[in-house]
Structure 1
Amino acid sequence: MAFRCSHCLIVCSLAVPNVACADHPSWNFLGYWDLQDRLGAATPTGAGVVIGQVEAGSGQQYLPNPNEAQFDNLIITPMSGAGTTLSHANTVGKYNYGSDWSIAPGIPETKVWNAVDYVQGGFLRVTSGSPLANPGCQVINQSWLGSFGNVSLERETLRRQDYQIVRDGVLSIVGMPNGGGSLSSTLMWAGWNSIAVGTRDESHVSGETSSSTDGAGRQKPFMVAPGSLVSWSAPMVTASVALLLETVETDPILSADPDATSPEVLKAILGASASHTRLGGVNWSNDPVASGPDRGLSTKPLDPVVGTGNCNIDRAHQVMTGGRFDGEIAPFGPAAPSRGWGSVPLSFGQSQWFRFDLSETADTFSFLTTWNRDVRVGFSQVFAPDLTVTMFRVVDGVLAPMLGEAGAAFYSAGNVGSDAPVDNVEHLYIEDLAAGTYWVQITRQDTTPTEPSAWPFAVAWVHPEFTPNFDPADINQDGAVDFQDLLLLLGDYGAPGGPSDVNGDGTVDFQDLVALLAVWS
């Protein structure tokens, strides 16, 4: 069995002294500064979130360096036996949980496997029994590529990974090949239930899964992140997941909802909130039909190079904290918030409807649904439901399809229908959507009634142009003046202005505290 890292060498810039916490260049592209500006001292750090890390070292050379200055408070747990330091693992770790390079320096522990052991006896147990029990990982980073040189074994490996993701409710973040690489080695980027990551600079290899995998023609990657190599981009997404997990664990409402940390919900949130941008003046596009009765319909849900786009933790955090809204079984009911998520099981032929009221033109409107495939024990049976997403506009009290030439008058670009026959993702991304009331319909449309009879889908959305008129004391702009706002104010106490300066006098002080308490929710 041959494996290789998803990088060729460590770039020279990684050998310079540690980048100061306030200056790491990747953070701006991740939306991290926006998150800090909005939350201040309440910004999550990944505290309490245990991660897994899989490395393709040589033999027992697979571990981060325990003496690395950035890992002072980190527990490194070898899962593949005693090992030695691997430079690749060390750099992945710096981007994942390092005190200077990572947006999630509060991660307390990483459990590390050698890739060969992880796939074989150490966890997934290819050609053997069921995967071993999860040792407590809440998200797993896999910055490596590999191949058995055997189509059957690789298909089984990917099935086992997808099975484990559903069984344990633990998302895997996997890397695409770097530029000059090949899609012929399918481990581990070609799975269904994981998040495949490329580089923001578009130097990765992108494409579609081949006939050697289950479900040929699925688009990869799902998203991109900063980094000169895929190995460095993937842990930035993993760190973003850690921040979302901590957000759920510390929120009194979200923490009571087990679906908030499900892999498909996390994936939907990250995808819907991604910055849908390309480099070099190229527009993000999922290639919708340009004219005729199907105008606005996409049969490929993602951009062919960057997937949903660049990971943006600030937007993802806003979608997560926007709260759960599961829609309606028919187009009657209240409107969804401007950002949020849902999780609803659908049986064959069933639909779910989501209403959106736009008081002004939406610069962008992003709506994404994703679901896991169902892999049965024994790994010979797999089931993948098929969904379609369609938008309607309410005109004189009647639902009017947005597909076609008539609907095109209400937006400038994008797709208003998504019907991908293979991918386990459907995605609407619309620019300049006119003010009005809209309904988005999700329908399960398997070609025949199949297993599973009812299967959960996750959905997330954001139309960020909507700016509610928040009270100045609602510092985190979540619609309530509460303990979270108080924490932000106390964390900024004495600062020269900023969001916590409730009365706008240029200083965060006792007068701002009085103003906040006066409108306490």
Structure 2
Amino acid sequence: MTLPPLIRHAAFCLAVPLLAQNLAADYKDDIGYTALAAELGAATPDGSGVTIAHVEASTSGREDVYTYTPNTADARFSGVTFTNKSASANPPTGTSGHATTTGGLIYGNNGMGFGITEVDTYLADHWIGNGFLNTDGITTAPAIETRDVQNHSWVSGPETTAEEARAVLSRLDYAIQRDDFVAVVGVNNGKNNDRPLLSAAYNVISVGRSDGAHSSTPTADGVQRPHIVVPVGTTSDATAVVSAAAALLIGAARDAGAGFADGDKSETVKALLLAGATTLPGWSRQSETSPLDPVQGAGQLNIFNSYHILAAGQQSGATLPEGAAVASTGWDYAGISSGETISYRFNLDAQKNMTVALTWNAIWSGSNYDDLTLSLANLDLWLYEVGVDGSLSLVQQSLSTEENLEFIRVNGLAAGEYLIQVSLLSEGDIEYALAWQASVPEPATVFFVLAGIAVLVIGRIAGLPTGRRQG
């Protein structure tokens, strides 16, 4: 299927920018960045060496006028090299305040990714067409993505059909699985204003607002949205903040060297961010088969927690019934075969809150890129308490069959021995990422503010600088 010219080229029809606003600095307090920077000082990861693709809708409202690039002369972007990938097809006639704001949150000198120096920019309609996804030709694969993170602070127009959306979403999922990059996308602002692009894709990280004023309708295929929320006033800004957090984690994993080679995988970054998220008032998983909160997803971004899960190091499970001994916080990236169960055994020395996130990619295949075939592996996740006699008592399970993540959260888990199990119920093989965290129960939270910080003094772990752990 070739998208109609009106859809391909009219920015106001296919891609529209999400709202953006100028932010107070205190969002960094609320997501744990201030605490992380205070702990690590000059060693705080800043995204150095990580590259970004910044995709924006035109803000002009006109079909023949393109304003989608950040103001590259803005002092916040000193030292950043921009490459406009849409310049030939859609030469910009001005800059976009929206793109300048979201770019500032990712790679500006006050963003968490202030060490990023290489940024590709795209007009969203061109990115969808022959700029990246290549929806203009059914036999043309998406372009190869060499950047580490794609940021998408835009949504589709209301007239985008299900067929058109599928052609875009399946190609994006295909590109992520092939090229291994992190795609961070915003859900729409407004509770009853759902748009399919791009949050209905499987392999992305979808982002909403901590105040819940965003669309959160599951897709027709059962994919829950959003995955995570951020305490800012628009989903555009929230998406940019998560892109910066992803870049921070990717850079930290690469800087750590040996033992962290899988820490920059797209599945790993997604699992780290979800497992590190903290709950806001009212958080509740829907069910064993829909394990995220319908509005908050996994919860509010907490880069302090996610960084410390990464810093705890990659720790392998085992197919033995007793599993492999691991720490109570950590992560893994591994392959699993049909019918196989991989187990991770850990001990808690005191009462803790436990969060476990399991992610994997949906796999699309075929030569007709408008009608790719979906293979969605069915993995399940269990948390058991291990008795003194070795018996297992189920604590919680996550059994989704319609999406590519599982999630467990248990507060007040008693001291003792526990077992995390990952099983592949469907045919074939798949690679997965698992991230888990045992944290000290924290005081009640006040909306947008972490009301207390429980700390645990630890040393340098597995190649990354560490200090205190935030509950």
Q: TM-score, normalised on structure 2?
A: 0.86
Alignment partner, residue 211 of structure 2: 201
The alignment status of 1:398 with 2:390, answered yes or no, reads yes
* Distance in 2, Cα, partners of 1:465 & 1:80: 48
Query: What code does the residue aligned with 2:265 have?
Result: S
User: 1:301 Cα shift?
Assistant: 1.1
- Identity across the alignment (%): 29
* Distance in 2, Cα, partners of 1:31 & 1:191: 28
Q: Among 449, 463, 480, which residue is 2:438 paired with?
A: 463
* Distance in 1, Cα, partners of 2:208 & 2:107: 19
* Distance in 2, Cα, partners of 1:468 & 1:169: 34
* Distance in 1, Cα, partners of 2:144 & 2:419: 42
**Change in 2 beyond 3 A, CA 1:205/1:271:** same
Contact 1:6/1:178 (8 A) holds in 2: no
User: 1:218 Cα shift?
Assistant: 1.6
**Change in 2 beyond 3 A, CA 1:469/1:3:** closer
* Distance in 2, Cα, partners of 1:428 & 1:443: 15
User: 1:119 Cα shift?
Assistant: 0.5
Q: Among 101, 104, 110, which residue is 1:94 paired with?
A: 104
* Distance in 2, Cα, partners of 1:208 & 1:443: 25
* Distance in 2, Cα, partners of 1:95 & 1:468: 28
Query: What code does the residue aligned with 2:193 have?
Result: S
Query: What code does the residue aligned with 1:176 have?
Result: V
Over residues 318-339 of structure 1, what are the superposed CA-to-partner deviations in whole Å (9 max), with x where a residue is unaligned?
A: 0111111121112335421122
Alignment partner, residue 255 of structure 2: 250
The alignment status of 1:277 with 2:276, answered yes or no, reads no
User: 1:383 Cα shift?
Assistant: 0.2
Alignment partner, residue 245 of structure 2: 240
| Alignment: residue pair count | 430
Q: Which runs of 5+ in 1 are unaligned?
A: 211-215, 289-297, 404-415, 489-498, 500-521
What CA RMSD, in Å, does the superposition of the two structures yield over aligned residues?
Answer: 2.2
User: 1:396 Cα shift?
Assistant: 2.7
Instruction: Give the match's secondary structure for 2:249.
Output: helix
Query: What code does the residue aligned with 1:304 have?
Result: P
* Distance in 1, Cα, partners of 2:163 & 2:394: 43
Alignment partner, residue 4 of structure 2: none
Query: What code does the residue aligned with 1:35 have?
Result: L
Query: What code does the residue aligned with 2:277 have?
Result: A
Contact 1:54/1:143 (8 A) holds in 2: yes
Over residues 465-486 of structure 1, what are the superposed CA-to-partner deviations in whole Å (9 max), with x where a residue is unaligned?
A: 299986xxx7xx2348x9958x
Q: How does 1:350-365 map to 2 (within 5 A)?
A: 350-362=340-352, 364-365=353-354
User: 1:127 Cα shift?
Assistant: 4.2
Contact 1:6/1:176 (8 A) holds in 2: no
Alignment partner, residue 24 of structure 1: 25
Alignment partner, residue 478 of structure 1: 460
Contact 1:386/1:421 (8 A) holds in 2: yes
**Change in 2 beyond 3 A, CA 1:78/1:434:** same
Instruction: Give the match's secondary structure for 1:37.
Output: helix
Q: Among 61, 66, 73, which residue is 2:67 paired with?
A: 61
Q: How does 1:501-516 map to 2 (within 5 A)?
A: none
**Change in 2 beyond 3 A, CA 1:436/1:178:** same
Over residues 407-462 of structure 1, what are the superposed CA-to-partner deviations in whole Å (9 max), with x where a residue is unaligned?
A: xxxxxxxxx1111121211111001111111112111112xx3xxx2110110000
**Change in 2 beyond 3 A, CA 1:382/1:38:** same
User: 1:249 Cα shift?
Assistant: 1.8
The alignment status of 1:146 with 2:156, answered yes or no, reads yes
Query: What code does the residue aligned with 2:26 have?
Result: P
Q: TM-score, normalised on structure 1?
A: 0.78
Contact 2:316/2:324 (8 A) holds in 1: no
**Change in 2 beyond 3 A, CA 1:442/1:333:** closer
Alignment partner, residue 263 of structure 1: 266
The alignment status of 1:111 with 2:136, answered yes or no, reads no
* Distance in 1, Cα, partners of 2:344 & 2:219: 31
Over residues 235-268 of structure 1, what are the superposed CA-to-partner deviations in whole Å (9 max), with x where a residue is unaligned?
A: 100000111111112112245x2x2211101100
Q: Among 406, 411, 417, which residue is 1:431 paired with?
A: 411
Query: What code does the residue aligned with 1:221 have?
Result: P
* Distance in 2, Cα, partners of 1:238 & 1:170: 11
Contact 2:376/2:404 (8 A) holds in 1: yes
Alignment partner, residue 134 of structure 2: 125
Q: Which runs of 4+ in 1 moved over 4 A?
A: 466-470, 482-485
* Distance in 2, Cα, partners of 1:346 & 1:428: 20
Alignment partner, residue 192 of structure 1: 202
Contact 2:14/2:160 (8 A) holds in 1: no
Query: What code does the residue aligned with 2:297 have?
Result: G
Contact 1:6/1:230 (8 A) holds in 2: no
**Change in 2 beyond 3 A, CA 1:166/1:444:** same
Q: Which runs of 5+ in 2 are unaligned?
A: 1-6, 8-12, 442-453
User: 1:104 Cα shift?
Assistant: 1.5
Q: How does 1:39-54 map to 2 (within 5 A)?
A: 39-54=40-55
Query: What code does the residue aligned with 1:229 have?
Result: T
Contact 2:207/2:235 (8 A) holds in 1: yes
Query: What code does the residue aligned with 2:108 have?
Result: G
Instruction: Give the match's secondary structure for 2:377.
Output: coil
User: 1:163 Cα shift?
Assistant: 0.6
* Distance in 2, Cα, partners of 1:124 & 1:93: 22
**Change in 2 beyond 3 A, CA 1:287/1:150:** closer
Query: What code does the residue aligned with 2:276 have?
Result: S
* Distance in 2, Cα, partners of 1:332 & 1:395: 12
Alignment partner, residue 388 of structure 1: 380
Instruction: Give the match's secondary structure for 1:163.
Output: helix
User: 1:174 Cα shift?
Assistant: 0.2
Instruction: Give the match's secondary structure for 1:331.
Output: coil
Instruction: Give the match's secondary structure for 2:344.
Output: strand
Alignment partner, residue 370 of structure 1: 359
Over residues 330-364 of structure 1, what are the superposed CA-to-partner deviations in whole Å (9 max), with x where a residue is unaligned?
A: 233542112211112122211111112111111x1
Instruction: Give the match's secondary structure for 2:131.
Output: coil
Instruction: Give the match's secondary structure for 1:388.
Output: strand
Instruction: Give the match's secondary structure for 1:253.
Output: coil
* Distance in 1, Cα, partners of 2:177 & 2:456: 40
Instruction: Give the match's secondary structure for 2:391.
Output: strand
**Change in 2 beyond 3 A, CA 1:346/1:63:** same
